Amino acid sequence: MPTPAPAPAKAKVPATVKALGELPELTEAQAQERRQAALASVRAVVGVETSDWSTKSTLAVALRAGNEERLNSIVAAVCSAVVEFEELRYTRLQVTDSLATSEADKRVHWRQCQ
């Protein structure tokens, strides 16, 4: 009779990963209040022209960047402001650059904060 295969070993999950999986349980009113607080922080980032929530998980942001390097720098600052709110860490950013000169740069850029 064949011997049953041993059960696969369970991988250890680092404490930081476990902690990231734990989102605060918020009422809809609390979640809306926290999205508005995140929005205020984003609007304070240098280079952000306008920003607003287009959905609960998508933040539309118009930037004054002018080049890819500056755009990436501003997006990083925006993400830093957003992820201060744990439940918003997977927010999608719909990014436009009002200073873009080429057609390719004028298109919408999609980013995700994590």
Question: Residue 32, SS3?
Answer: helix
Q: How many residues does the chain have?
A: 114
pLDDT band at 77 (very low <50, low <70, confident <90, very high): very high
Structure tokens at 61: 């942001």
Q: Is 10's pLDDT higher than 90? A: no
Is 13 a residue whose pLDDT tops 60? no
**Of 4-8, 53-57, 61-65, 102-106, the least confident:** 4-8
Classify domain 28-112 at the CATH superfamily level.
Cation efflux protein, cytoplasmic domain (3.30.70.1350)
Residue 11 pLDDT grade (very low, low, confident, very high; cuts 50, 70, 90): very low
Q: CA 55 to CA 8: how far, in whole Å? A: 41
**Which pLDDT belongs to residue 16?**
42
